[in-house]
Amino acid sequence: MNFRLFRLAFAALAPAAALFLVAHEAPAQSLPATPAPAVSASPSPAPGASPAPVASPAPAASPPASPSPAPAAQAPAPVQTADPFGEPINLEGKKVVVAKGSANWDTAFDTLIDSLKALSTMLDKQGIKPAGNPMIVYTSTDDTGFTYLAEIPVEQEPKNLPKGMSMGQSPDGKALKFVHRGSYDNMDNTYEAITNHLDEKKLEAKDMFIEEYITDPLKTAEDKLVINVYVPLK
């Protein structure tokens, strides 16, 4: 129970406790003494007469019932746990089909979507199903833009890959996992929090980071995106 609920429960119990103390601890008031009635001599009953019935004493009054304690405050509903932030994991390399690209920050998301769409279209034409979620591996960044590898895991290697596409392996090794939910425009806030986390823990990251799209970016509304961000460690 949090402090606020504790105070509410205490306030509810206080009046009941006061009534309980008044009923059980207040001294009983003395009643004025009533003089005993004079006893008059009564003639002895005639022989054979039945004696008058003796009145039964009145039952003692029941003690006042103790007030019932006020019901305790209800426990709060369970809160959905937050996504892990900075969870240590070990990335396993996967066979992926790759499309290299570069983009500026103003059109970053549209450029990334175009690369993933091109890979997805190529796989559909060859009847190859993805073996995992699409990924973007950022290989370099600067103030104006970045270079990247768009990757989709596959088990079957495609044939006759178009220009700009190739086969490769996704990054592996020790990394930290972070989760972003919502619009890609808000990714800056996530990466700022990631940077603060690395500084606080005094961790050194490699010169790359990976975004794994848990929701399909080609079909999901941008504000409903769920993206795992992996930061490989040195």
Structural domain spans, the chain: 87-232
Instruction: Work out the burial of residue 56: count CB atoms within 10 Å of its CB; fewer than 13 is exposed, 13-18 middle, 19 or more buried.
Output: exposed
Contact 94, 167 (CB under 8 A): no
Q: What span, in angstroms and rounded, lies between the C-alpha atoms of 96 and 170?
A: 6
Residue 17 is predicted with a pLDDT of: 36
Give the pair of three-digit tokens for residue 109.
């998301």
pLDDT of residue 29: 43
Indicate the Cα dihedral angle 20, 21, 27, 29, nearest 10°.
-40
Question: Distance between CA 140 and CA 209 in Å, rounded?
Answer: 9
pLDDT at 152: 98
Q: What is the pLDDT of residue 119?
A: 97
Query: What is the mean pLDDT for each group of 10 consecutive residues in the chain (234 residues)?
Result: 31 36 40 45 46 50 54 50 87 97 94 96 96 96 95 95 95 96 92 95 93 94 94 95
* Cα within 13 Å of Cα(181), Cβ side: 4
- Give residue 222's pLDDT: 86
The CA-CA-CA angle for residues 220, 192, 119, to 5°, reads 35
Fold of the 87-232 domain: Multidrug-efflux Transporter 1 Regulator Bmrr; Chain A (3.20.80)
Cβ 178 vs Cβ 85: under 8 Å: yes
Give the integer Cα–Cα distance in Å for 98 and 130. Answer: 12
What was the pLDDT predicted at 82? 76
225 DSSP 8-state letter: -
